[in-house]
Structure 1
Amino acid sequence: MQISDKFNQSNQASRHSDSLKAAKAAVERIAPVWPLDQFIAVNPWWERIDTPFQECSNQIAFFSGTNFLMPRKYYRAKWNDGTIGQSELLAAARECGIGVKVDELSAHLQTSSFTVSMRLMTHFIDMRRDLEHNMSWQNEVTHQMSQFCAAYFDRGQASWGMSTESNIYATWLEMVRHERGIGLLMGVSGIGSIFEDLPMDPEQLIAQSLDALEIPCAAKQDYLEALLLSINGWASWCAYLRWQDRLDNSHEGSSNHLIGLLAIRLAWEWVLLRHAEQEGLAYGWLGNVESWKALKPMCRESQELDWIWQRALEISVQKQLVNRLSLPVPKSSNEIKPELRAFFCIDVRSEVFRRALEQVDPRIRTGGFAGFFGLPLSYQGAGLDVVKPQLPGLLAPVLKAGDCCSEGDEVCHTIAGKRRKRLIGSSIAGHLKTAGTAFFSYVEAAGLLYAFKLIKDGLLGGSASQAVKGLREREAAQLKPRLVGNGSPEEISGRVALAARILRAMSLTEDFPELVLLTGHGSQSDNNPHAAGLDCGACCGQTGEVNARVLAALLNEPSVRSGLEKEAIHIPESTRFIAGLHNTTTDEVRLFDLDEVGPQWVQSVQKLEHWLKEAGDRARAERAESLQLPAGKPGLLGKYRRRSRDWSEVRPEWGLANNSSFIVAPRKRTAHLDLAGRSFLHDYDWKRDSGFQVLELIMTAPMIVTHWINMQYYASTVDNKRYGSGNKVLHNVVGGTIGVFTGNGGDLRTGLSLQSLHDGKQWIHEPVRLSVFIQAPREAIDKVIEDHEVVHQLVMNKWIHLYQLDEGETPVSRRGSEGWHPAVQSRKG
């Protein structure tokens, strides 16, 4: 072999190695999206938090033509209505390190915003349109890939779903080689033979195509990331499958889907280039590649002044809350011994109800805690095959809950059998209604009965959705979710330890009142594929009912209470834990397992039900204006109930829209404040937190969950086309539970619909990064930042803004990259 041949082989091997490294790095930058039945909020840029927030925006702009900013007309409106003032604007300019006058910033808003033409072009005729069909090749490639992925990943919706035994790339390649008309819709004929020449191995395809496209080594990862973002919805689905693999400590199988998806997208680039070369159309491609170097700084420069306006908006929102949290805490009814301690999820919707409940009676204390109540559960209901996670998506379940029945196992088995039969029947009917042309046959066969159902649901509202499907009301009341186990001493010891951890995390270790209410939450809506996104994010898109009932039962167990004595936690016999579920659409609270409550608590429970009803009235009145309902008129509850059952209602509630802060402090620090449903509230008393283990838990779990929620709303607002799901009226469900299309194709949509963010006239959600306020010593907060890389990245790269609350001379301090500094003047100042 000649020396030159050896050199060429070595050089080729090195290039191939670089290509695979770039590909593996690119796929690691894709964040997951959860399926519809577990739809939880996710930061769509989660895998990029090692990059400063503003720099990440520059990168995404370069890759895909989008950024993390609103159009300039949005900031102009905020300037005109006084939301942003001169002081906020100048403070933002100083923080951004840019010397610019207010007049220059104001004039900047009159110019055009960043345009898509500045982005990296993913192939040489990226925006080429076929004259007959008026569709860009980019859009057609996305559509064809998306239709293939829908069939490949189908979860039982379609009868034509593909086998997933072979990898996704190999399956696609076999399909396109047999699809004779693959190029007709694109106005491209004769490309079938090109597919025949593609290698069977996805990694080999990646290496060879990058060589053929002459992508420079330094630009390979950028180019591959841009390709993945052009099919971001399905890339995010593949990232979810990878996430689940890693939770299960498995790095095989579906983790390879992202590489396969990237290979498919890159194969299209190579095929179209080769076709264009044959047709003499490949001019300009290499010049486009050369232009990429100049595009990055252009993207950065085009956003510089916009970031001052975005930061000024955030400062305006933060200033209001900082000033209110800086005021002395008034003396209140906190000295009165409580008759009720009511714990709710930290969800922003709970803030409104908690405040309303506390106003009903001074003997009521409320607390905030993550809605899964610290239980790392999965749950399998009686008669169901599916096992649902009931904990944040960040975690893997370690405990299992199931249903039991106080009448005995035989009754439970009977109910399970009846439920299974009903669900089989409803699934057959559901398939008939959704399986292509079969829908028309179904309606024709059902005749007037189905017509009556459509009219009833449209005019009267459908029946209220059951928390547990397939059960009659009496059957649902008989079933009780409980931890699965055998009652061994080891198991009881583990339950005691679990109960102790949860109570300490709730700062509930003494002064127990007669009743302790554990309130999960869930939403209620009809004909809503994204309904799970309105349920409890801490319960993986399920309601919090199971967790609340399991924990209440656990803390009522005599053996557990006896064991807690050894943990120095004494729960009096006079204390009873009650589980409830807050319906966030109607602001009603349902109580569970009252048949197990002894006679000594009957009057207390009746008083509790009265308090909850009055609090619901107050909360509904407060929310009415935002939903355009008449707050001061009778029958308001009925209007809320009707909209919760109306299959045509596109805005059953506003969910977590307009969230902006997460406050970790004793309730007395915020009890006197109307936070307008914009704050996540987590009760925490650092003086009871020995070793700051609870603080560490809060900053590494609930804080990240609230950041995910905040970033999903942020991303869906600043770019709903790419990171939201558009008009929900046009949604079609894909693959059973995978996600939705707009219409019949395009990319898989992720994020929130426009109707969840906009009321038809204006944005309801204000896109600002989460401001986190923690009442704890600075040294303890800094220790968590130092010990946990993810927390360090969130704070130092400005994905969140971090504040410390104190009871001394500096009530609020802000954490910057260089350390802490006062957020406002001292009280003496």
Structure 2
Amino acid sequence: MNPALSSVKIKSAPAGAGVIDKAAPNDVTAAVCIDAATRACRRIAPLWPLQHFVAVNPFLGWSDRSFTAACQWATRSGFGEMLMPTRFYAQQYRSGRIRMADIEQALALAGSSVSLQQCLDALHDARPEAANQAPACWPTMADHLDAETGSAWAGLITDEISKWCAAYFDEGQSAWRMPWRNQPLYSAWRRAAAFDRTPELAGIADFRRCIATLPESPAAAISQILAGLGVADDRLEDFCQRQLLTVAGWSAWLRYKTWPAEPAQAATALLELLAIRLAYDYALYIRVAQPLELQTWRLRWQASAVSSDAVAEDSLQIRHALQWAYELAGQRSLLARLASPPPAAKLVPAERKVLQAVFCIDVRSEVYRRALEAVSADIETLGFAGFFGFPIEYIGLGHHHGQPQCPVLLQPKFRIRESVAEADVGDLRKILEKRWLNKRLNRLWKGFKHSAVSCFSYVEISGLTFAGKLLSDSLGLTRTVAKPGSAGLDRAVVQRIGPVITRQRGRLIANGPVVETGIALGERIELARKALQGMSLSDGFARLVLLCGHGSSTVNNPYAAGLDCGACGGHSGEANARVAAAVLNDREVRAGLAAQGIAIPRETWFVAGLHDTTTDQVRLFDLDQVPHYFAADLAQLQDWLELASQLSRRERASALGLANADAKALGQAMLKRSRDWAQIRPEWGLAGNAAFIAAPRQRTAHARFDGRVFLHNYDYRQEGDGAILNLIMTAPMVVASWINLQYYASAVDNRRFGSGNKVLHNVVGTIGILEGNGGDLRVGLPWQSLHDGQALRHEPLRLSVIIEAPAAMIEQVLDSQAEVRQLVENRWLHLLRIEPDDGRCFRYGGHNAWQPVSLDPEEF
């Protein structure tokens, strides 16, 4: 409980309209109310804004409970479905994907209370057109009145709160700003409510006077309302959670606003929104609900705490077991690919290669890595988190602050600014002044186009002058807008922009504050050492080492950041790759590394690159800084990349409906997709992700995973204390789980955990989207990112994690990292390991127990 709120007293409402005059069955204290409300707020997962959209585990607040318990709570409370309908598993069973042996094993692993025969009966009885009927959820007052009287209070309340939050949190989309933005959310809403007649017109008599009687403190208001509604003490947390779920999107946004604050601080922010939502139910309770309706409402809450529907409970248990069986079937396919050639074969480190290419562990990189390795036996690829171990804030040219270029679980530790190569102070000033002038003119022009006075006349007079641009944009020949990083700059200048890694102090903009940017030498050496060790690349360096980040090209797409690099905070990995390459090419850094036992040969050079996952083009950076004696190597690299790009496009073509195109036409078609402002599926992103493997590349090099596996290089022999494995399991593995569970949830229940139909999206305040013109802020992924119109492109599977390391090392991480242990022990993911010495596979069974898993190809 937040100590600042523990002393709150429930204030009696003044005499007159709005006083609670309906008998409440209990007398709850303020401390109990706020404690329950605070616990409910801590269950909310954050929602990142569109500009930095990253995958988030929507069940983040429930990781301390088992997956089974979360499924039960979600079904009862209206949180959302966490399992597919029985008809889905029946289809998988009829197709042969799920076998009877899978169901038997699933029942044993899940500790299910249902029998094999019950599962088989459910599969045989499931009709293709039938769907599971979820039990009635715990109702808010608005839900209950809607069910009893046919009203639409729940929708109205959600719309009203969403409309208010959109105006309050707007980040520049609206031309006219709300006058109360300088006040706390609840206080601002309470003042606006004094003028808002919408609820009264809808049928809540004296709504404004009713709200005026509430305390000015949100904590006191929550306490007063909860005490008045008469919800039992042991149901208060569920009741508050249910209230927040009616505006789940805005609740998630407020959780992000306080991320990564302490739980008490995050709860304090959410309490303001909870107070607003409760206030509407409070008004319905006083002014609309009849005594009999109140009685039945309270009985539903009391009954749901002590009773459950046995049939519904068995149905849930059956679906849970079938989900396990479905995932075991997926693991069988995955392990079959690892089993040939036999995993017991001696893993011999490869000879020194001509090229080593380090890619992000993103599943899309797996396709390109295989393609690049297929081009030449002289190429070795490695997998590492796409920020390359450099947690930076990257400040673009002409800006005074930047964006985090690191996983959202981390905080940037260094500021890196951009500058223009070979530009003196005067040249740089002229470049910046030109950019600022162009941006100001563009801002004025945009304001003129969207103003209430000029918008119609502007279209009437000058619309035809844009016909050429409109046509070329529509055909995908040009981009609809310039890329933000190059807006207002000449092409020649753009080619000279790059990061400055050395420590400097100065102003980033005219009249701005003096700030410190860059990285000190000692810190550069330490970052370089950790990055190389994390890549398992401390010796055997190739002549060229490519550090290849990734990003996506798309236009008119609110979810564009979701297609970029999650390890870079929802941005392109270009900045991190260039910074990492610059640091590793630094002579002083190399000297410092050599003193620590990592000797990078003089004839090794690090090259930064960017893989465009929409077009499969790879762009190389800072080639003017490469010594001349690498000219032939660079030419060879570019030839190899072009061949790999063609192979990767060919593999991806069928999923994009381009299977019959030749190499040239395929390249042009994918480029067109990246520029098409009507394209709802520029690429498939991380759809299909199913597993995370941390092992030497020799273990997986022979296998084709079809872009479904996060591949992280890891060789336990290169460390003695387990620090690298600890980092892998607490950062990349957790991030992969976040991604997996977001895709899982969006596929299982897109209405609750996804964002619906992409065609209907409307951007709100530049921070999120509504589906249509009202409703709650949507979370998760649009349906078009998961489904191709015929079938799901993403299979809803919990992540299977496979680590090649001794059991003791993995258990050491689980014992020291409580949050990681929760993910594993509570079955939010599956953990398997490969014994390095003999290649045997084991499944984690809980409490540091391991069960053998067969890798015999004949059993697959």
Could you tell me whether the CA contact under 8 Å between 1:341 and 1:364 is conserved in 2?
yes
2:620 counterpart of 1:594: no
Residue type at the aligned position of 2:85: P
Residue type at the aligned position of 1:25: R
2:311 counterpart of 1:288: no
> Where in structure 2 are the equivalents of 1:65-84 lying within 5 Å?
66-84=80-98
2:58 counterpart of 1:41: no
Residue type at the aligned position of 1:582: H
Q: Distance in 2 between matches of 1:828 and 1:61?
A: 40
| 2:356 corresponds to | 341
Could you tell me whether the CA contact under 8 Å between 1:126 and 1:138 is conserved in 2?
no
2:338 counterpart of 1:325: yes
1:470-492: CA deviation from partner (whole Å, max 9, x where unpaired): 13322111111133514999921
2:324 counterpart (311, 314, 338): 311
Residues 780 and 173 (structure 1 numbering): CA distance in 2 closer, same or farther, change over 3 Å? Answer: same
Residues 825 and 388 (structure 1 numbering): CA distance in 2 closer, same or farther, change over 3 Å? Answer: closer
Structure 1 gap segments, 5+ residues each: 1-5
Residues 335 and 260 (structure 1 numbering): CA distance in 2 closer, same or farther, change over 3 Å? Answer: closer
| 1:767 corresponds to | 796
1:380 counterpart (395, 399, 419): 395
> Where in structure 2 are the equivalents of 1:627-666 lying within 5 Å?
627-633=656-662, 634-666=664-696
2:590 counterpart (536, 561, 565): 561
1:150 counterpart (148, 151, 166): 166
Residue type at the aligned position of 1:128: D
Q: Distance in 1 between matches of 2:831 and 2:198?
A: 56
| 2:469 corresponds to | 453
Q: Distance in 2 between matches of 1:280 and 1:82?
A: 53
Residue type at the aligned position of 1:317: G
2:477 counterpart of 1:481: no
Q: Distance in 2 between matches of 1:122 and 1:587?
A: 49
Residues 213 and 828 (structure 1 numbering): CA distance in 2 closer, same or farther, change over 3 Å? Answer: closer
> Where in structure 2 are the equivalents of 1:49-128 lying within 5 Å?
49-64=63-78, 66-96=80-110, 97=112, 98-101=114-117, 103-110=120-127, 113-123=131-141, 125-126=143-144, 128=146
| 1:618 corresponds to | 647
Q: Distance in 1 between matches of 2:350 and 2:802?
A: 25
Could you tell me whether the CA contact under 8 Å between 1:369 and 1:682 is conserved in 2?
yes
Q: Distance in 2 between matches of 1:294 and 1:490?
A: 59
| 2:529 corresponds to | 500
1:229 counterpart (240, 245, 248): 245
Residues 580 and 12 (structure 1 numbering): CA distance in 2 closer, same or farther, change over 3 Å? Answer: same
CA shift, 1:441, in A, is: 4.6
For the aligned residue pairs, the C-alpha RMSD in angstroms reads 2.8
Q: Distance in 1 between matches of 2:563 and 2:41?
A: 29
1:593-639: CA deviation from partner (whole Å, max 9, x where unpaired): 01111210111101000000000000000000000003452411000
Could you tell me whether the CA contact under 8 Å between 1:238 and 1:255 is conserved in 2?
no
Could you tell me whether the CA contact under 8 Å between 2:352 and 2:541 is conserved in 1?
no
CA shift, 1:413, in A, is: 3.4
Residues 257 and 433 (structure 1 numbering): CA distance in 2 closer, same or farther, change over 3 Å? Answer: farther
Could you tell me whether the CA contact under 8 Å between 2:144 and 2:297 is conserved in 1?
no
Q: Distance in 2 between matches of 1:685 and 1:334?
A: 11
| 1:273 corresponds to | 285
Q: Distance in 2 between matches of 1:105 and 1:43?
A: 30
| Identity across the alignment (%) | 39
CA shift, 1:47, in A, is: 1.6
Residue type at the aligned position of 1:271: A
SS of the residue 2:146 aligns to: coil
SS of the residue 1:761 aligns to: coil
1:102-141: CA deviation from partner (whole Å, max 9, x where unpaired): 532323534954435521111265362899xx86211110
Could you tell me whether the CA contact under 8 Å between 1:124 and 1:282 is conserved in 2?
no
Residues 423 and 484 (structure 1 numbering): CA distance in 2 closer, same or farther, change over 3 Å? Answer: farther
Q: Distance in 1 between matches of 2:284 and 2:365?
A: 53
1:666-692: CA deviation from partner (whole Å, max 9, x where unpaired): 001000000010000000110001211
2:188 counterpart of 1:159: no
Q: Distance in 2 between matches of 1:490 and 1:520?
A: 20
Could you tell me whether the CA contact under 8 Å between 1:42 and 1:709 is conserved in 2?
yes
Q: Distance in 2 between matches of 1:685 and 1:822?
A: 22
Q: Distance in 1 between matches of 2:307 and 2:454?
A: 51
CA shift, 1:84, in A, is: 1.3
Structure 2 gap segments, 5+ residues each: 1-8, 13-24, 506-515
Moved more, 804-813 or 493-502: 804-813
2:762 counterpart of 1:732: yes
Moved more, 235-244 or 819-828: 819-828
Residues 436 and 519 (structure 1 numbering): CA distance in 2 closer, same or farther, change over 3 Å? Answer: farther
CA shift, 1:56, in A, is: 0.7
Could you tell me whether the CA contact under 8 Å between 1:158 and 1:435 is conserved in 2?
no
Moved more, 268-277 or 342-351: 268-277
> Where in structure 2 are the equivalents of 1:372-521 lying within 5 Å?
372-410=387-425, 411-432=427-448, 439-463=455-479, 466=483, 468-470=485-487, 471-483=489-501, 485-486=503-504, 491-521=520-550
SS of the residue 1:42 aligns to: coil
| 1:362 corresponds to | 377
Residue type at the aligned position of 1:693: A
| 1:782 corresponds to | 811
Residues 238 and 309 (structure 1 numbering): CA distance in 2 closer, same or farther, change over 3 Å? Answer: same
Q: Distance in 1 between matches of 2:473 and 2:519?
A: 52
Residues 295 and 224 (structure 1 numbering): CA distance in 2 closer, same or farther, change over 3 Å? Answer: farther
Q: Distance in 1 between matches of 2:376 and 2:858?
A: 35
| 1:3 corresponds to | none
Residues 251 and 485 (structure 1 numbering): CA distance in 2 closer, same or farther, change over 3 Å? Answer: farther
Number of residue pairs matched by the alignment: 815
| 2:257 corresponds to | 241
CA shift, 1:447, in A, is: 1.6
Moved more, 329-338 or 30-39: 329-338
| 1:17 corresponds to | 31
CA shift, 1:167, in A, is: 1.4
> Where in structure 2 are the equivalents of 1:739-758 lying within 5 Å?
739-758=768-787
Could you tell me whether the CA contact under 8 Å between 1:176 and 1:182 is conserved in 2?
no
Residue type at the aligned position of 2:737: H
> Where in structure 2 are the equivalents of 1:544-583 lying within 5 Å?
544-583=573-612
1:558-579: CA deviation from partner (whole Å, max 9, x where unpaired): 1111111111111111111000
Residue type at the aligned position of 2:280: W
2:43 counterpart (5, 15, 29): 29
Could you tell me whether the CA contact under 8 Å between 1:130 and 1:187 is conserved in 2?
no
Q: Distance in 2 between matches of 1:753 and 1:661?
A: 22
Q: Distance in 1 between matches of 2:87 and 2:568?
A: 38
Q: Distance in 2 between matches of 1:314 and 1:113?
A: 21
Q: Distance in 1 between matches of 2:497 and 2:804?
A: 41
SS of the residue 1:34 aligns to: coil
Q: Distance in 1 between matches of 2:206 and 2:47?
A: 37
Moved more, 465-474 or 580-589: 465-474
1:30-75: CA deviation from partner (whole Å, max 9, x where unpaired): 0101011100000011121000012111112222162211122222
Q: Distance in 2 between matches of 1:436 and 1:122?
A: 40
2:743 counterpart (713, 723, 731): 713
Residue type at the aligned position of 1:115: Q
Q: Distance in 1 between matches of 2:519 and 2:323?
A: 55
